[in-house]
Structure 1
């Protein structure tokens, strides 16, 4: 899947939380309906069989409860995508990333091979369809997430290149797969943030730490030998840059991937480097953009939402640009693209009791037009407005309501943008207010449940969403091409 990921260390965030967030984008020409659900231990299989690759994997006993964002329409498997378990450990999976022929020739992807009357089928490895279900219910820290997924990759392999984020209240780890069976992971520095745009991203790796103390790095046990045997180190001197060794260097990266990272680094670090003009340190086509930076100010959840909604506002590349030279409009793939299925920002707050720590900020559909709302993750069920998505279009579903708002608003952008801005702001304000209110009620009296809190948040969300849908439907209807000024009266 084409996605964009942001990882924010606890000392880079506004309130000391760790935050991991990802746009889950469908492939070109597709829209994948999603729903937010809770998976109870009794619902977790004890032997898992992948729909796409047919791999069968026995699972441990005693799984944890966890939230998930699976596909709403059956067919290609679960694709649980993102969630938080009952131990306040979160993950997002996956960011599709890229590699090169040297790596894939040395360690081929483990692909499914259908059988026939003469040959039995050959199962493939694991992939985005499977990873959350196989890992999240069994881990008690972000580090354990890396270790469990690493062991599964070594045993079963993978049929695709992916990046996966793991998070607890103290740490964030980022794992990238390398070929069919190898992997590496790096701890996000507490005072930094990471932007990942569908490319292998880690630009520095310490083998001594990864194969020793594992304070900041982890990897496959044989990764260093794999690099040496297959002549993968392209650095001059003693340094090792895994992006050069394992990543891609394609022309298409310069229209699809690197501009997204450039746009967000430019926002969070406007004075750290020169981002524009003939003397720019980095441009939209720079292959050496940093993996992480210390932001010039601490990052809020609203900025994460804005970043993952970005369509190059303030640059010549904005497809909605109205003034000046429009020749570059739409040059680069936007972050807030039309085919986003959902975005989740998983926030683990260190300053409240464990029951309240995990918030999932969720929105569906194209982020340029949707609203971002927080829900408590430590619950046994989710509101119907968030989990009732089916193949049928319905305003009773936040997913479908968001899709309709986006399509109507895009078609009449000049007339609807003010309604969208007010809607997004009203929902954000109400979301913060309700979380503060229910945090305090829970800590003071415990006279309510977190499920009741989520229902109140969902009711607010439905009310505001219905209201803006009415407004943008009116604007889009008034500006249809067959409109005419003279009344029939």
Structure 2
């Protein structure tokens, strides 16, 4: 799926939390309704079969509880998309990327091969299952790992054994570390840890721009990879570096890969399409978080079409949830490329693919916070629909059930759930941007302020009863911590229902007043 990712290291966030966040955008021509659900250990499959690739995998018998934000329809599998477990490990999968043709020739994608003919026919060939993909990854990894590193290792093992039918990037985090995994062909992979004082920005491109082989095959402080990655690169002549290796490095041949290399050059691909669809998004996110640099003049180091925009960098100020929410719903505000703006020309205002698009199904930012009890550590900031017209609200992940307003999304339009209410607001407000902007801005402010206040109050209530593990009796009245968190989630959902319904009422009224067939004269005088 199309999406945009931003990752915030713990020293780069204003709360000291690790934050992983991603838009999940439906493919062009469809809209995938989303829901927020908790998966209990007894509901986790022990024998898993992929809907799309038909690969069958036996799973361990010790899953933990976790919360996810999957599609409503199961026609393409679970597609958990974003989740956090009771062990305070978070994942977001996946960021669709692309590798070059040389990689695909050396290690082809593992695609489903349908059966040919019927059993008993002379030319009958049985079905050959494909590998794992976006549909499967969180379900196969998240409930079985205790740390982000363990998650990288488990995902890497699955990729090496079963392969994948698509190229993807996957984020795995815990309270200390964020790791970003990119698949390389059918069975290979690389992973890089986000430096604690940095953020990383990733559109739909292979993004990691530096890799240290010596660390990946040594201490693994910041890098991990497939066991045979060096041989894979050397054996298939994937390195394109000029004179980077020498006899002094102790290598067998001078053309072999040095310890440090740029994966974008070795594995990635670029095209003019990237300069419309991908690189402008990374440019805008970094423009916002490092605003003092020159981004707009003819002499700017990085432009919307630059292929060398850094994968990660240190922000000028610590990053907040509001920054993340704004960026993942942004549309090139204050530039000539804003489709709702007045700068530039009609052509420039529709030149690039915005981050916040009509096809966004949800944005989920998962915050793992070090200064609260373990039971309350994971907060999932969730918004449904196009981020331009809504905002994220906080929900605790460590719960046994989720609020019906976010859980029971219907396949078809209904104002009884948040997803469709938000999408209706967006459809109306898009046509009346200036008339509805104030109402939407007030809604955003109210939801964020209430959400932060609710989280602080809930954290205090859990901490007052003691720093206890999930499921223990945390509250003074004997209720477990999970019950306190579920109660907070219900309060957040109730607030959202009230304020979102009011916003829908307001934009319907404002939009109605500005319809093309509006006529002021009535059929009777009003005193």
1:392 Cα deviation from its structure 2 partner: 2.5
Out of 141, 150, 154, the residue aligned to residue 156 of structure 2 is 150
What CA distance in whole angstroms lies between the structure 1 residues aligned with 2:21 and 2:330?
14
1:247 aligns with 2:268: yes
Q: RMSD between aligned alpha carbons?
A: 1.0
1:406 aligns with 2:426: yes
1:348-367 residue pairs with structure 2 within 5 A? 348-367=368-387
Report Cα offsets for 1:106-131 as digits up to 9, x if no partner: 11000001112211111000000000
1:476 aligns with 2:511: yes
Contact kept in structure 2, 1:316 and 1:326, CA below 8 Å: no
1:16-55 residue pairs with structure 2 within 5 A? 16-55=16-55
Contact kept in structure 2, 1:233 and 1:241, CA below 8 Å: no
Aligned equivalent of 1:467: 502
1:216-235 residue pairs with structure 2 within 5 A? 216-235=222-241
Any stretches of 5+ residues in structure 1 without a counterpart? none
Which TM-score applies when normalising by structure 1? 0.98
Which TM-score applies when normalising by structure 2? 0.91
SS in 1 for 2:304: coil
Out of 325, 329, 339, the residue aligned to residue 309 of structure 1 is 329
What CA distance in whole angstroms lies between the structure 2 residues aligned with 1:225 and 1:419?
58
1:196-215 residue pairs with structure 2 within 5 A? 196-215=202-221
Contact kept in structure 1, 2:364 and 2:383, CA below 8 Å: yes
Q: How many residue pairs align between the two structures?
A: 488
What CA distance in whole angstroms lies between the structure 2 residues aligned with 1:146 and 1:153?
10
Any stretches of 5+ residues in structure 2 without a counterpart? 118-123, 246-259, 466-474, 478-482
1:481 Cα deviation from its structure 2 partner: 1.3
What CA distance in whole angstroms lies between the structure 2 residues aligned with 1:106 and 1:225?
12
Rg (Cα) greater in structure: 2
Aligned equivalent of 2:95: 95
Out of 179, 188, 197, the residue aligned to residue 182 of structure 1 is 188
Contact kept in structure 2, 1:176 and 1:184, CA below 8 Å: yes
1:337 aligns with 2:357: yes
SS in 1 for 2:126: coil
SS in 1 for 2:22: strand
Out of 299, 306, 311, the residue aligned to residue 279 of structure 1 is 299
Report Cα offsets for 1:362-399 as digits up to 9, x if no partner: 00000000121001111100000010002121111111
1:450 Cα deviation from its structure 2 partner: 1.1
1:488 Cα deviation from its structure 2 partner: 2.4
Contact kept in structure 1, 2:290 and 2:315, CA below 8 Å: yes
What CA distance in whole angstroms lies between the structure 2 residues aligned with 1:80 and 1:325?
40
